[in-house]
């Protein structure tokens, strides 16, 4: 399964079923055991060739940011709220797919011609936005898209420039893609790959996976925010697309194990794997769950820089995706 196929799947937090099904089908032939737990995580285990080599766990999250329908207007528009952190400035006029039937809709707001000068000075919040599915009235809208229906961005996977791609859900289908590619290899150590649920709404799935597995080492494969365009000063870039895998020393959910942090840098340098140290302490991810569960795990986060993250049109460079995989493989080869 390639990255294009993975990003085309729809899996907002709490509704990852389509992604989960595809991953189970792809991972099954590659490993010794596939388990789905009650949180909806897919936990894959592959036996290593040397029982004396310590096992390691890798994790990535299946879910993406999206929306949920919270109401209907008399004229058939859908009121909605975000699932995960989505800047309302990034959603106006975007196409979405709503409900199990994937009904097309567009996120709308009052036309600029009708806004007052004061309106134009402030960011519209979600109470002022709606999804238009072309319903003639409230009754039809309620029938087509009942309360609690999910909505996702409708964005095709599009290669452009020199090795860049634009798609929805790069955070974190890049990590899921590389977990599947890891499972295709052979290693001396036991390998556990966790495809977890509901990361975008508070690391919920990974808590159950961490409690169940309680690994000594957990390595998280993520997508993270790049801020490398325009007149942003280099020290505020966080990380840069095209500069390789981003190695984090800290974020808002975890602090990297110092031994692992130094080891990843040493391995990347020795193997000439493009890499960078993430320059900002931003966001949070499933490392926080694994680091604080049971006796705790040694954790490190390896990320693919993504521009316009948590929007309908994220951008990454495929060479960074390959660099994330290469460093993960190098770590496994040197256990």
Structure confidence at residue 238 as a pLDDT band (50, 70, 90): confident
Nearest to 170 by CA among 51, 28, 313: 313
Residue 161 included in any domain: no
User: What was the pLDDT predicted at 105?
Assistant: 97
CATH number reported for the structural domain that contains residue 36 in this entry: 3.40.630.10
Q: Are strands 150-153 and 95-98 parallel, antiparallel or unpaired?
A: antiparallel
The band of 262, judged by pLDDT with boundaries at 50, 70 and 90, is very high
pLDDT tens, residue by residue, 168-213: 999 999 999 999 999 999 999 999 999 999 999 999 999 999 998 9
pTM: 0.94
Q: Are 78 and 130 contained in the same domain?
A: yes
Q: How far is CA 316 from its chain centroid?
A: 12
- Whole-number pLDDT of residue 122: 80
pLDDT in tens, 25-44: 999 999 999 999 999 999 99
Predicted local distance difference test score (pLDDT) of residue 111: 75
On whether both 98 and 179 belong to a single domain, the answer is no
Residue 316 sits in the same domain as residue 327: yes
pLDDT tens digits, 37-94: 999 999 999 999 998 888 999 999 999 999 999 999 999 999 999 999 999 989 999 9
**Amino acid 231: pLDDT:** 80
Domain endpoint, select from 121, 153, 185: 153
Domain final residue, candidates 119, 153, 187: 153
Taking CA 229 as the corner, what is the angle to CA 225 and CA 230, rounded to the nearest 5 degrees?
Answer: 140
Concatenating the DSSP letter of every residue in 6-39 gives: HHHS--BTT--HHHHHHHHHHHGGGSSEEEE-TT
Domain check: are 324 and 234 in the same one?
A: yes
Establish if 24 belongs to a structural domain.
Answer: yes
pLDDT at residue 154 in the model: 97
- Asked if the structure places residue 145 within a domain, the reply is yes
In a domain, 250, yes or no: yes
The domain of 112 spans 66-153
> Is 259 known to be catalytic?
no
Are 209 and 71 in a shared domain?
A: no
- Following DSSP, what letter does each residue of 47-110 receive, concatenated? --S-TTSPPEEEEEE--B-EEEEEEE-TTSPEEEEEES---GGGTTT-EEEETTTTEEEEEE--
pLDDT of residue 233 exceeding 90, the answer is: no
Determine what percent of the chain is predicted with pLDDT higher than 70: 100
Phi, psi angles (nearest 5°) of residue 26: -75, -35
Confirm if 243 and 320 have CB atoms less than 8 A apart: yes
pLDDT higher than threshold 80 for residue 112: no
Sign of CA dihedral 289, 316, 16, 218: negative
d(CA 16, CA 180): 17
| CA distances in angstroms from 294 to 208, 217, 221, 298, listed in the order given | 11, 13, 21, 12
Based on the fold, state whether residues 111 and 15 are members of the same structural domain: no
Q: Are residues 271 and 125 in the same domain?
A: no
Are 90 and 140 in the same domain? yes
Q: Structural domain tally of the chain?
A: 2
Choosing from 16, 64, 199, 222, the catalytic residue is: 199
Does some domain include residue 159? no
**Residue 114 tokens, joined:** 């009708």
Q: Tell me the C-alpha distance between 130 and 77, whole Å.
A: 6
User: Does residue 163 sit within a domain?
Assistant: no
Instruction: Single out the residue of 300, 333, 305 nearest to residue 318, CA to CA.
Output: 305
Does 36 map to a domain? yes
Is the domain of 182 the same as that of 309? yes
Check which CATH number belongs to the domain holding 102 and give it.
2.40.30.40
Q: Same structural domain for residues 186 and 286? A: yes
Question: Residue 20 in contact with residue 28, Cβ under 8 Å?
Answer: no
Contacts of 116 (CB under 8 A, 6+ apart): none
188 and 148 in a single domain? The answer is no
Whether 333 and 187 have beta carbons less than 8 Å apart is answered as yes
């Amino acid at each position: 399964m390639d990255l294009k196929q993975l990003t085309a799947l729809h899996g907002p937090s709490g509704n990852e079923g389509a992604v989960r099904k595809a991953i189970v089908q792809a991972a099954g032939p590659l490993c010794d055991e596939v388990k789905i737990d009650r949180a909806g995580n897919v936990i894959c285990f592959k036996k290593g060739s040397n029982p004396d080599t310590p096992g390691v766990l890798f994790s990535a999250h299946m879910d993406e940011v999206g929306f949920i329908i919270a109401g209907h207007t008399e004229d058939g528009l859908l009121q909605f709220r975000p699932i995960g952190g989505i800047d309302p400035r990034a959603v106006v006029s975007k196409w979405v797919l709503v409900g199990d039937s994937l009904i097309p809709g567009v996120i709308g707001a009052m036309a600029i011609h009708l806004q007052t000068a004061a309106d134009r000075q402030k960011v519209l919040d979600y109470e002022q936005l709606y999804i238009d599915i072309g319903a003639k009235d409230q009754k039809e809208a309620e029938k087509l898209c009942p309360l609690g229906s999910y909505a996702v961005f409708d964005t095709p996977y599009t290669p452009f420039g020199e090795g860049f791609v634009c798609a929805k859900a790069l955070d974190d289908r890049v990590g899921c893609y590389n977990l599947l590619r890891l499972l295709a290899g052979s290693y001396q150590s036991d390998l556990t790959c966790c495809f977890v649920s509901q990361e975008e709404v508070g690391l919920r799935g990974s808590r159950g996976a961490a409690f169940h597995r309680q690994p000594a080492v957990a390595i998280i494969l993520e997508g993270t925010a790049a801020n490398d365009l325009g007149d942003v000063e280099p020290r505020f870039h966080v990380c840069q697309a095209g500069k390789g895998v981003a190695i984090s020393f800290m974020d808002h959910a975890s602090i990297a194990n110092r031994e692992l942090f130094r080891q990843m840098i040493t391995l990347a340098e020795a193997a000439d794997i493009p890499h960078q140290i993430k320059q900002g302490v931003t966001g949070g991810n499933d490392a926080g769950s694994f680091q604080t569960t049971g006796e705790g795990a040694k954790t490190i986060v390896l990320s693919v820089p993504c521009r316009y993250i948590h929007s309908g049109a994220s951008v990454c460079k495929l060479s960074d995706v390959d660099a994330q995989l290469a460093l993960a493989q190098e770590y496994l080869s040197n256990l």
